Amino acid sequence: MSAAVTSASAEGASRVSPARRAGKFADRWLMPVYVFLALFYLALPILVMIAFSFNDPPGRFNFVWGEFSLAAWGNPFGRPGLEGAITTSLLVATVATLIATILGTLIALSLSRYNFGGRSGVSLFIFIPMATPEIVLGASLLTLFVGTASEPLKTITGGALFPLGVQTILIAHIMFNISFVVVTVRARMQGFPRHLEEAAMDLGANPWTTFWKVTFPLILPGVLAGALLAFSLSIDDFIITNFTSGTATTFPIWVWASIKNNLPPQVHVIGTMVFVGAVGIVVLGTLWERRSERRDRRIAAQEAAREVARLEAAQLSPAD
């Protein structure tokens, strides 16, 4: 019997150990290497974009490496219509971000702070625009904007209500950004300290004051993250904008129009600027958040120390 046990355990050991060792090896080395390679794959087109912004292409298309040049960086807007397109892009992204952030934050507050009838239905309703292909969002908006000039909507609107242009791009961008803001803000509101609001109310603050003095500062990082996401989605959007722009031109529309007959390195320069700007904002935001966290901890520690000192003093004082 004891022989059977030993043989079984010996068999177990010999069967398990090479695979176990491979598993350990994979955990130690393969996983980090794989993660690095996958992230490199994700970063590759960005690196190519940055590299080709320094290219002096042999032809009209910036597809093949010619030689290193700073010409495009020296003159980043030096193509007809490019500066106007970038101005439009920035304008649309700024306004759309502002409005979508306000509307989305309100929905996120309502979804995560209150339990009300139809809450999960609203959750689902918010998700659907995010899962809808951009082409359907663009096509349906175009159908609406064109349809306002004919039956049956004409009877309500009385003719062309929505001439295509910057205003229709704005409407489209606000629409697709709302859901993304809701999801970002809601994710950051998990584990929200409700008792702080209750404490403020107990101390006599009205709902308005409580919101601005307690709730808003707490959700601000989430709101800013949502706004940043909205801004970058908006400034990069091509498909929906292509359907709703009419003759207005944003930066992606300009690129699409130009790619049929030329692709100047300026496109890569501006792409690089947008990328560096967005990453810079994220890095600064993270540093700022860390610093304020550290400051909060320091203040808390000082308060605690003062409290301890006061208690100690109080304990000593009854002696007199």
Which residues within the stretch 106-145 sit at the binding site for other proteins (CB under 8 A)? 106-107, 109-114, 116, 119-120, 122-137, 139-144
Neighbours of 177 (CB within 10 A): 27
- Binding span for other proteins by CB under 8 A among 1-9, 66-74, 75-83, 256-264: 256-264
- Binding span for other proteins by CB under 8 A among 3-11, 44-52, 299-307, 312-320: 44-52
Based on the shown chain and the rule CB under 8 A, indicate whether residue 19 belongs to the binding site for other proteins: yes
- Minimum gap (Å) between residue 31 Cβ and other proteins: 5
Based on the shown chain and the rule CB under 8 A, indicate whether residue 88 belongs to the binding site for other proteins: no
- Minimum gap (Å) between residue 76 Cβ and other proteins: 14
Among 86, 255, 264, 266, binds other proteins (CB under 8 A): 255
- What does residue 159 show for φ and ψ, rounded to 5 degrees? 110, -160
Q: Which is nearer to other proteins, 45 or 318 (CB)?
A: 45
Q: Which is nearer to other proteins, 116 or 315 (CB)?
A: 116
Helix (H, G, I), strand (E, B) or coil at 59: coil
Among 10, 48, 220, 304, binds other proteins (CB under 8 A): 48
Among 22, 199, 287, 304, binds other proteins (CB under 8 A): 22
- Binding span for other proteins by CB under 8 A among 74-82, 197-205, 247-255, 291-299: 247-255
Q: Which is nearer to other proteins, 80 or 117 (CB)?
A: 117
CB 259 within 8 A of CB 242: no
No. of H helices and E strands in the chain?
Answer: 14, 2
Q: Residue holding tokens 């807007």?
A: 77
The CA-CA-CA angle for residues 29, 30, 32, to 5°, reads 70
Instruction: For helices 166-188 and 82-113, give the axis angle rounded to 10 degrees.
Output: 40
Structure tokens that stand for 178 in this block: 């709302």
Based on the shown chain and the rule CB under 8 A, indicate whether residue 268 belongs to the binding site for other proteins: yes
Structure tokens that stand for 216 in this block: 């808003």
**Residue 115 one-letter amino acid:** N
- Minimum gap (Å) between residue 220 Cβ and other proteins: 17
Neighbours of 233 (CB within 10 A): 19
Q: Which is nearer to other proteins, 212 or 309 (CB)?
A: 212
CA dist., res. 89 & res. 91, Å (int): 5
Based on the shown chain and the rule CB under 8 A, indicate whether residue 95 belongs to the binding site for other proteins: no
Among 8, 11, 63, 291, binds other proteins (CB under 8 A): 63
Longest alpha-carbon distance in the chain: 95
User: What is the residue-wise DSSP string for 6-28?
Assistant: HHHHHHHHHHHHHHHHHHHHIII
- Minimum gap (Å) between residue 314 Cβ and other proteins: 41
CB 142 within 8 A of CB 244: yes
Q: Residue holding tokens 């390195």?
A: 265
Interface with other proteins: number of residues (CB under 8 A): 104
Sign of the CA dihedral 7, 12, 13, 15? positive
Based on the shown chain and the rule CB under 8 A, indicate whether residue 199 belongs to the binding site for other proteins: no
H-type alpha helices, 116-165: 119-131, 134-147, 154-157
Interface pattern 147-166 for other proteins (x via CB under 8 A)? x--xxxx-------------
Q: Which is nearer to other proteins, 279 or 304 (CB)?
A: 279
Q: Which is nearer to other proteins, 196 or 239 (CB)?
A: 239
